[in-house]
């Protein structure tokens, strides 16, 4: 398990009861980083993709090198008030309160085949909002791709219920 074994778990961070899955230990390892990007890029090698979209901030670390490896452009989906040109935004729920992500209105053309990438899916709220933004602009989600899925939290099922295909390199379930 070259990927999962390199992900560190920090118990009770950021709050008591949360098992934080920390990818910094994966990223700092040359084979870990290489394998992560390569395994994702290989999966989409023969798939029609126009753009790779990554979600700020950890989704940038994974998404941009995947786009580079596939020879495609990269679209950043950013937290609110970070993008300088005209944007489209969506609010999404956090455990406490809400947040907002935005995309430039000229980032996606109607009919674009978009691979959506983030490091982790938990509730799926972030990815649902990001996928919604892409679809609002006429883009089609090829797949929602993550390094880590936490199936107990239900995000994958939530996205699949919306009709999205979901892929993750590894899962942490009941551990």
Our finding on whether 58 is near ligand PRP (CB under 6 A) is: yes
Residue 124 partner contact from Mg ion, ligand PRP, none using kind-dependent CB cut-offs of 5 to 8 Å: ligand PRP
Q: Could you give the count of Cα atoms lying within 13 Å of 125 in the half-sphere of its Cβ?
A: 14
Q: Is the dihedral of CA 61, 64, 67, 69 positive or negative?
A: negative
Q: Which of 15, 86, 95, 173 is catalytic?
A: 95
CB of 36 to ligand PRP, least distance (A): 14
Strand 166-171, strand 140-149: pairing? parallel
Our finding on whether 155 is near ligand PRP (CB under 6 A) is: yes
**4-29 as b/e, with b when 16 or more CB fall inside 10 Å?**
eebbeeeeeeeeeeeeebebeebbeb
Which residue's C-beta sits nearest to Mg ion?
A: 58
Interface mask toward Mg ion for 33-72; x: CB under 5 A: -------------------------x--------------
CB of 58 to Mg ion, least distance (A): 4
**Stretch of 26-34, 38-46, 66-74, 119-127 contacting ligand PRP, by CB under 6 A:** 119-127
Q: Which is nearer to ligand PRP, 56 or 112 (CB)?
A: 56
Helix axes 58-70, 30-43, angle to 10 degrees: 60
Distance between CA atoms of residues 164 and 140, nearest Å = 10
Alpha carbon dihedral 115, 120, 169, 77, in 10-degree steps, equals: 20
Our finding on whether 53 is near ligand PRP (CB under 6 A) is: no
The answer to whether 95 is a known catalytic residue is yes
Residues binding Mg ion (CB under 5 A): 58
Residues involved in catalysis: 58, 95
């Amino acid at each position: 398990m070259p990927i999962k074994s390199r992900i560190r778990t920090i118990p009770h961070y950021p709050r008591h009861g949360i098992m934080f899955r920390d990818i910094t230990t994966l990223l700092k390892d040359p084979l870990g980083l290489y394998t992560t990007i390569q395994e994702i890029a290989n999966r989409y090698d023969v798939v029609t993709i126009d753009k790779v979209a990554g979600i700020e901030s950890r989704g940038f670390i994974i998404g941009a090198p995947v786009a580079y490896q596939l020879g495609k452009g990269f679209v950043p989906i950013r937290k609110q008030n970070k993008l300088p040109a005209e944007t489209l935004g969506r609010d999404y729920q956090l455990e406490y309160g809400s947040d907002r992500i935005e995309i430039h209105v000229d980032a996606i053309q109607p009919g674009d085949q978009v691979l959506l990438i983030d490091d982790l899916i938990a509730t799926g709220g972030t990815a649902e909002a990001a996928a919604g933004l892409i679809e609002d602009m006429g883009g089609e989600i090829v797949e929602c791709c993550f390094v880590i899925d936490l199936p107990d939290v239900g995000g994958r099922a939530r996205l699949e219920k919306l009709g999205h295909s979901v892929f993750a390199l590894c899962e942490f379930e009941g551990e």
